[in-house]
Copies of this chain bind each other. A is one copy, B any other.
Amino acid sequence: MAEENVVGFTDLPVRKKREEEENGIYASTVSIETDGNKEPDCISAVIPGWFSEISSMWPGEAHSLKVEKILFQGKSDYQNVLVFQSSTYGKVLVLDGVIQLTERDECAYQEMITHLPLCSIPKPKKVLVIGGGDGGVLREVSRHSSVEQIDICEIDKMVVDVSKQFFPDVAVGYEDPRVTLHIGDGVAFLKAVPEGTYDAVIVDSSDPIGPAQELFEKPFFASVAKALRPGGVVCTQAESIWLHMDIIEDIVANCRLIFKGSVNYAWTTVPTYPSGVIGFMLCSTKGPPVDFKHPLNSIDLNDSCNKSKGPLKFYNSEIHTAAFCLPSFAKKVIDSKAK
């Protein structure tokens, strides 16, 4: 968030140093605008020439990437948007100071958030993506030949435009003729969807502080459930078991109330996300039962119609099943809420 994170680059000509007395650290150039005069309430620090991801969502730690060149900086109606060329992770997309994707490891997130739900139901036809403006989830959905309609509702047009300009291998998802892009609020979009429309909804959101906050709340999940057909599935970005068990506990509890089919938590490795992992909530509505842990479709053998997208890099049926196996500390908490 603008108020939460400060990022800086000291390859810019002007360098301003300011001691963060509370934290005993220096902040270098703040090259991203913050909202008005409000002082950032979290620590801010930079390795000069590097991008450092610092946030009150993961206090006391920071992952940094070496910057070769800043390619884009802008402020949309919703957030700060930044693209830079890193020295070893390819191009990087950053929203409000938080890394959304790097070319080197985006495959893990995009493939898992998409194929975990879509491989768990027979022949998905209508799919809705909320968020996911970069187009990577669309790229993955489009590998499924059974799919006839792919709707995407992204709130921030700048994310779409920037992705098309700087991440063609990700935004390639928009080239699929089955895709319809809606620029707008996902919450409002879902409310207007006729009951039982979709086989699957994928919520590719940023963290639950800022524009994505409502996407982690009960009324939103209720709208998702209503938009799904009986036995339809949702997969939603659900934070890190190492950092945010409190948030996860709430999401699981909310989903258990709303989704009358199954409610599951899965996770995967993404090196450039905080703590190196990201989780997903996978739920189904009342109807034909969905066994998420045992995929029905083996997409790994079936990506013939996708020459422009290249082969799958990360997902396969084995890692699908493995993603639902949790460390004991997480299993204990999640099982207690999911029953």
CB-based nearest B residue for A65: B61
Q: A276 touches which one: B47, B66, B277, B327 (CB < 8 A)?
A: B277
The answer to whether A48 and B48 touch across the interface, beta carbons within 8 angstroms, is no
B residues less than 8 Å from A86 (CB atoms): 60
With both chains docked as a complex, state the minimum distance between the C-beta of A312 and any C-beta of chain B, in angstroms. Answer: 6
User: Nearest B residue to A328 by beta-carbon distance?
Assistant: B316
Least distance between A152 CB and chain B CB atoms (Å): 25
- Identify the closest chain B residue to A45 (Cβ): B47
Cβ contacts under 8 Å, A323 to chain B: 322
Chain B residues, CB < 8 A from A105 = 242
Number of copies of this chain that the complex holds? 2
Which of B23, B48, B65, B270 is the one whose CB lies under 8 Å from A24?
B48
Q: Is the C-beta of A164 less than 8 angstroms from some C-beta in chain B?
A: no
Q: Does A88 contact B (CB under 8 A)?
A: yes
Contact A24 B11 (CB under 8 A): yes
A337 to chain B, nearest CB (A): 18
Q: A23, B45: Cβ atoms under 8 Å? A: no
Query: Does residue A326 face the partner (Cβ distance < 8 Å to B)?
Result: yes
The smallest C-beta distance from A248 to any residue of chain B, in angstroms, reads 15
Tell me, in angstroms, the Cα distance from A49 to B25 when the chains sit together. Answer: 6
CA distance A13 to B26 in the complex (A): 15
For A189, list chain B residues within 8 Å (CB): none
Q: Are B329 and A313 touching (Cβ within 8 A)?
A: yes
Min CB distance, A69 to chain B, in Å?
12
In angstroms, Cα B21 to Cα A48, docked, is 12
A215 to B269, CA, bound (A): 27
Whether A313 contacts B327 by the Cβ 8 Å rule is yes
- Chain B residue with Cβ nearest A317: B325
- A269 CB contacts on chain B under 8 angstroms: 242, 267, 269, 275-277, 327
User: What is the bound-complex CA distance between A23 and B67, given in angstroms?
Assistant: 10
- A125 in the interface (beta carbon within 8 A): no
- Which B residue's beta carbon lies closest to that of A241? B269
Smallest Cβ-Cβ distance to A300: which chain B residue: B328
Residues of B within 8 A of A87 (CB): 59-60
Q: Whose C-beta in chain B lies nearest to the C-beta of A108?
A: B327
Question: Which residues, 292 to 306 on A, are CB-close (under 8 Å) to B?
Answer: 300
19 contacts between A and B (CB under 8 A): A23-B66, A24-B49, A25-B48, A25-B50, A43-B66, A45-B47, A45-B48, A47-B52, A47-B64, A50-B62, A52-B64, A60-B86, A61-B66, A62-B63, A63-B63, A271-B277, A275-B276, A319-B325, A319-B328
Report, nearest first, the 7 A-B pairs whose CB atoms are least far apart. Answer: A276-B276, A60-B88, A322-B322, A322-B325, A60-B87, A271-B275, A318-B325
